[in-house]
Amino acid sequence: MPLLIRNARILTLGPGTRPRRGKELADLSIIPAGEVLVTDGKIAAVGPKVEAPADAEIIDALGRVLMPGFVDCHTHACWAGDRLAEWEMKLRGVPYLEILKQGGGIHSTVKAVREATQKQLAASLRERLGAMLREGTTTVEVKSGYGLTTEAEMKMLRAIRRAAAEWPGTVVATALLGHAFEGELDDYARMVVKDMLPEVSKEFPDIAVDAYCEEGAWSVDACVKFFEKARKHHPIRVHADQFNSLGMIPEAVRMHARSVDHLEASTKKDLIALAQSPTLGVILPCTGLHTDQRFMRSRLFIEQGGALALATNCNPGTSPSHSIPLAIALAVRFCGLTPAEAIVAATVNAAAVLNLGDRGTIAPGQRADLVLLHHKDERALAYELGGNPVATVICGGAITR
């Protein structure tokens, strides 16, 4: 049945779906009092007044904010077990990279993931996806990366696909084949290129691949060798400069990475180079809050004309949060974004990271992934802390909440 949402403050986010850069990030292209017609899962019309069929179901927004569904473009939401004991260690002052070096951190989750069945992994991911949807996320990227063997990585990717099939939103899987390593890095990285990558390519030909460039994880050299092979068939993304600036950004830009994510420790020079390239930067402020109160210098990046996206980084180690509203609230407080910039970063720009041009804005022909807030002013989305600002979620044209 067609759906008409009327009497809404509509954040259309403007025409076109190319990533917003620099000053464009502040433009929400608002219709202060308008209507949106949804038919067949898509937006059919938007404007101050639209023609609607007589049988359309009507939602009166009562002047509240209607905006695109959130796109969470960086998560590790498929995991098993928990990291509560390590979190207590961290609270007592043991750094994240030290826990990793001692065989914990990512390796603890690897152990739990290997012990879990595909069905168990899919069920726990499905629960997290449910929580995300309730807070307005209608598209989510989910990485593998806790398998570290071809068999376990494939199990994760299949679990992600299985959970996706049972969820009304869209799940985009990413093969994080360079998250950590066992044995010697060089041998392990060679195994990834020789065995793991071809298996992934066969079953998931369009998937993006990712690596974690960091001390104690993958070196720049290992990442470059891996990406040079992988990029022949797959888009590439990279975690870089989370704790240490190792020089991955120039390489990522050279290899046309879709995004570079984290960036907390990036140098000014690297941030400027990234800002002036087509590669998107992704900020993960929940990680700063949970891990060590360090955040990317996002203002500099935006002022240099960068295309910035925002994500939760939902994972058991550095960011136990599935909430884009929380990520927005933190981006505004700790990364210097305005509420409007944070909204653009979590919608149209996050969709660009996933190469999804059919969402992230409210325009005819776009997928009808919409969020109606409890609020009449979108700044309240960034202002509120810890509540759920989302009243109604429409996913592919269906009201899910």
Give the binding site for ligand NIG (CB under 6 A): 76, 105-106, 109, 212, 239, 242, 287, 313, 315-318
- Burial grade of 285 (CB within 10 A; 0-12, 13-18, 19 or more): buried
CA dihedral 69, 72, 76, 80 (to 10 degrees): -20
C-beta of 112: minimal distance to ligand NIG in Å? 11
Beta carbons within 10 angstroms of residue 37's beta carbon: 22
Work out how close the CB of 111 gets to ligand NIG at its nearest, in angstroms, rounded to a whole number: 12
Task: Determine contact, residues 29/341, Cβ cutoff 8 Å.
Answer: no
Q: Which is nearer to ligand NIG, 180 or 391 (CB)?
A: 180
Quote the least distance from Cβ 109 to ligand NIG, whole Å.
5
With a CB cutoff of 8 Å and minimum separation 6, the contacts of 359 are 17, 68, 69, 71, 138, 139, 170, 351, 366, 367, 369
Q: Which two tokens stand for residue 390?
A: 């989302």
- Smallest gap, in angstroms, from Cβ of residue 161 to ligand NIG? 21
Our CB check for ligand NIG shows the closer of 18 and 101 to be: 101
Nearer to ligand NIG, 59 or 350 (CB): 350
Nearest approach, Cβ of residue 144 and ligand NIG (Å): 12
Of the pair 7, 244, the CB lying nearest ligand NIG is at 244
Q: How many CB atoms lie within 10 A of CB 212?
A: 23
Minimum distance of ligand NIG from residue 95's CB (angstroms): 12
DSSP state of 265: T
Q: For ligand NIG, give the closer residue by CB, 137 or 287.
A: 287
Residue 178: strand pairing partners: 211
The smaller minimum CB distance to ligand NIG, of residues 225 and 237, is found at 237
Shortest CB 65 distance to ligand NIG, Å: 30
Asked whether the beta carbons of 376 and 65 are under 8 A apart, the reply is yes
Instruction: Using DSSP, state whether 331 is helix, strand or coil.
Output: helix
Sign of the four-CA dihedral 174, 179, 181, 186: positive
Residue nearest to ligand NIG (CB): 317
* Cβ closest to ligand NIG, residue 311 vs residue 373: 311
Q: Cα–Cα distance between 230 and 193 in angstroms, integer?
A: 8
Phi, psi of 240 (to 5 degrees): -140, 150
